[in-house]
Structures are given as structure tokens and as C-alpha cells.
Structure 1
């Protein structure tokens, strides 16, 4: 799926480490299709997303729970899968923290506009936050308070 999306495929050990880390969440969207030979069908992965927990601050990027990578198969984009995966990750974060964070290339207005729907607002800009570097540009650090908590 990552290759079809033109992205680097995460190493199996990287995903296994994320799955095995109780401070992180990995969510996967699948569709089950019927197969004549098998009564239980087969599943196709349509997308996945993860969270990351930073236990230390890095400049203007504080410690806390961050939305991590998200990928949806190109032929399944614009069907709400990214929204569902993001809502699941945010629900998980907000059960653990009063705010969620994410970093994005500052020129990615589509992502920024989408995340505003969950209350994300820009906090800072920099060429990198934690281990995410923005080659040839700058990134935006975004914050969203848990629904029902005080806003900033």
C-alpha cells in the first residue's frame, strides 16, 4: 500500500515496535471481501495510522501524544477512511491526555484545513520538530485540546 501511495514502506520492525509500545496506538482499516473457496473471506488493508508519544520536549515541541503517520490506499481515498482513522487515534489520545499534537509541512493546507475540524491550531513553525524534518521548507506544530476542556 505504501509503495502504491509513493511512500517509503516502514520496516516491519518499526511497525512491530509501534504495535508493541503501550504508549502508542496503531490502527488499521480493512475491507473483507468474499472468496468462493473460503467462508471467512479475505481482508485487504485500506489504510493505517499511528500515534507517537514523546516523553521529552524538543524546542517548541512539547512532550506529549502526537498523531503519527497516516496512509490510505490511493484507490480508497476520499471515502472517509483517513477521517475514521484520525478520529480513532484522537479518541485514544484524549482518553490519556488533555491535548493532542501533530506536525505537518506548513504548505500542506489540505491537511491543516482537515485537522482544524478537530480543533487543531498552529502553535509554532520550525524546520523540524522532534525527529520530523521538513526539507526545503518549514513545518507547523499543531495543537488541539480534548473536547470539553478549556481552549487556549
Structure 2
């Protein structure tokens, strides 16, 4: 349970072990240490962590593709978000997504997102920012899908008031 606010900040190399621990506790394969260190240092990517009650409880990342691949265009993509199971349904994934989208929209007019169509919770979360399906394919950039179909969604940067 949350006792206080959630803080989202850029990840550092010192956060990699906490990120791997979150992946393991969430039933996912732990992030590769070298790949995570590279992503954290890459100026074309963003890796963020969410802290609550003084502990890292979730993380998320972006990807940047400088080229199109099949139906998937080049551009900035939201990567995965993982939140510790006991901290889910408290707005942490939403906070991680908003920070990543703000970062993307400071650099591009569109944000892209790839998801398995069976991941309804993720699809529902991303509707808040206007993500809409633009393509389906068995592989989108480096992601292949169980069931041989994945969704490519796009959201456009909101117009400024």
C-alpha cells in the first residue's frame, strides 16, 4: 500500500539492480545489466523509475528507432512499464507513462507504442493519451508476438492551449 506520493525520476546505473528485482518479482525476465546501462546513458532514450515510501516500485523506458522497419516507422516508442504487483492500481504506471510521453513530445510530434492485443490492461491505460491502432503485424521492429500478431499504436502530441 502507498503511504505517500509517487516520485518519478530518471534512472541511474545505481538503479539497475532494483529494476531487475522488480522484473523478477513481477514474473518477467530480469533486464540485461549491460543493455540497461546502455539505455540509461543513451541520449535518445529515457529510463525512469518510480519511488514510493522511499523504495523503487516501478520503472519504464523508451526506445528510439532511426529507421522504419516494415509497418513500424522510425521514431520514439514507449517501451515496457513494470510495477511491483503489490503497488499496481495506484497510478504508478500512469505516472511513468506521463513522464515518458512528456519527454517524447518534447522531441517529436508522435509517440509510438507496440503491444500484444491480449494485453488489455496496457491498451486501456494508453487510451488516456489517445493512442490508436495504425497497424498489425507478426513483428514490429525487434518485437515478435505470441499469437503472431502485435499492434502498433500512435498518439499525437497534444495541441498547446
What TM-score comes out, normalization by structure 1 length?
Answer: 0.88
What TM-score comes out, normalization by structure 2 length?
Answer: 0.83
Paired position in structure 1 for 2:85: 74
Q: 1:134 aligns with which of 136, 142, 145?
A: 145
Alpha-carbon distance, 1:54 to partner: 0.3
More helix by share: 2
What is the aligned length?
139
Listed as ranges, the matches of 1:111-130 within 5 Å are 111-130=122-141
RMSD of the TM alignment (CA)?
1.1
Alpha-carbon distance, 1:68 to partner: 0.5
Paired position in structure 2 for 1:8: 29
Secondary structure of the 2:80 match is: strand
> Does the aligned pair in 2 maintain the 1:100–1:144 contact within 8 Å?
yes
- Worse-superposed segment, 102-111 or 15-24: 102-111
Alpha-carbon distance, 1:136 to partner: 2.3
Secondary structure of the 1:136 match is: helix
> Does the aligned pair in 1 maintain the 2:139–2:149 contact within 8 Å?
yes
Runs of at least 5 residues in structure 1 that lack an aligned partner in the other structure: 33-42
> Which structure has the larger Rg?
1
Runs of at least 5 residues in structure 2 that lack an aligned partner in the other structure: 1-21
